[in-house]
Amino acid sequence: MIPELSLHFQNRMPSVIRQAQIVFSERIDRDSIQVVNLAIGNVSLPMHPAMQTRMNELGNSRFSDGIVKYTPSAGTQEARAAFLNIISAEGIDTSNLFSMVTDGGSAAMELMMLGVCGPSAQRPLMLLDPAYTNYIEFSKRLSIPVVTSDRGIYDDGTFAFLNLNSIESCIEKNLPSALLVIPYDNPTGQFLSQGTLLELAQLCVKHSLWLVSDEAYRPLFYGQEESSSIWALSEHDVPGVSGIRISIESSSKIWNACGLRIGSLITDNKEFHAKAISEYTANLCANALGQEIFGALAHETQHDIQEWYKIQQNYYRSIMVPLRKNLIKEIPGLIVTEPEAAIYFIIDFKNICDPSFDASAFVHYCASEGKVVLDGNTYTLLLAPMNGFYSEPDKGKTQMRVAMVETPNLMEKTPLILAELYYTYQSR
């Protein structure tokens, strides 16, 4: 008799950002279809030039003898310094910050949750709904409860201001151990200003919470305001903020190195840092080759880093603004969130679809059988249903997340492809 899987494994489904890709891979006709995969933030741009140079020189580096040893559990000194150098490029004093390197931002997320809540925690982690799906998935893995405070999206795609009274009420009712924010938000594309972070920090100090900020997309924002970061807050701004801050960092997005799997957990709390390293010793260390490549950024000047930011900002702005406009044109009544930050926006069919419409079913249709002939080629579109980004899946029933990760040519075709897929699906 074959032993049973654990109940956790029996109930485990793929992440919503991977579901469509898995379904498409099982199609019989997959080799004849050009897939436009906007379900996952798998950036298709080249890495920073300094990182490319390092990668190309690996054979002549300290790995030239073919030996790849473990690094310290906290990461190499150079890779740790690279993350601090990036933060300092924002004009921030990093002398009191502690950096450790992890296997991607995802490992930093899980490590943070263990540190502020612990497995099978009594006190929950607080998120803003909708939230990045990995935090929700890791909460299930670690048996950590999650509580959320809703944020509104208007029908014109703009965002309602965060309701601080509602957030504080949620804190007082549920007694979370930490508040997690994503200033350059995944999945909504909302931008949280420095003033908003200040107000949230004041709540954290008042209620003795950890303030956790996922800053993987810093500084991808497209408005006129200045960039924002919890590390730009001072004791003068928020008395008591020192020692309660943690940030999640990543090489994946602004540095275009998703597959490198290098992230970081930054904190201004020495004890948290030490204990995080202790916990991570069970993982031994992050990817040694990835650390070597990313470590090149430790030597870039603040000016060069800022210039790189401008290139990334201009690239995504040039795609997101016309894409949003054309989606609304091709599918009248579609809600498309304002592209304020990061590389995502949400589309919502609630005002035009029939009552039975379900985004997950539509995404499955696109991946399993949907196809559109355009300019002599056959396409389909992969998206991420938003039900996996909400604490209560029914909230996202008519919504999908769109990631700006394909080539500009394919992004230009997206509105036409989506429109035909949607109207064909609705007419079945």
Domain ranges of the chain: 7-46+310-426, 49-304
For every residue of 352-385, DSSP letters joined together read TS-TT--HHHHHHHHHHT--EEETTEEEEEE-EE
Torsion angle defined by CA atoms of residues 311, 316, 321 and 322, in that order, rounded to the nearest 10 degrees: 100
CATH of 49-304, one of 3.40.640.10, 3.40.1450.10, 3.30.420.130, 2.60.40.1220: 3.40.640.10
Question: Helix H segments across 89-177?
Answer: 104-116, 133-142, 164-174
Confirm if 75 and 420 have CB atoms less than 8 A apart. no
**Is the Cα torsion angle 337, 152, 195, 230 positive or negative in sign?**
negative
Strands across the sheet containing 335-336: 335-336, 344-348, 399-403, 384-385
Amino acid 224: pLDDT: 80
Cα distance between residue 130 and residue 189, in whole Å: 11
Tell me, yes or no, if the two domains 7-46+310-426 and 49-304 fold the same way.
Answer: no
Amino acid 273: pLDDT: 98
Segments of the chain with pLDDT less than 70: none
Q: What is the pLDDT of residues 347-402, one digit of tens each?
A: 999 999 999 999 999 999 999 999 999 989 999 999 999 999 998 878 889 999 99
CATH of 7-46+310-426, one of 1.20.140.10, 3.90.1150.10, 3.40.30.10, 2.40.100.10: 3.90.1150.10
Q: Is 295 helix (H, G, I), strand (E, B) or coil?
A: helix
pTM of the model: 0.94
Helix, strand, coil tally for the chain in percent (to 5): 45, 15, 40
For 115, residues 6+ apart whose C-beta sits below 8 A from its C-beta are 246, 272, 275, 276, 279
Q: Is 294 helix (H, G, I), strand (E, B) or coil?
A: helix
Amino acid 197: pLDDT: 97
Cα distance between residue 315 and residue 378, in whole Å: 27
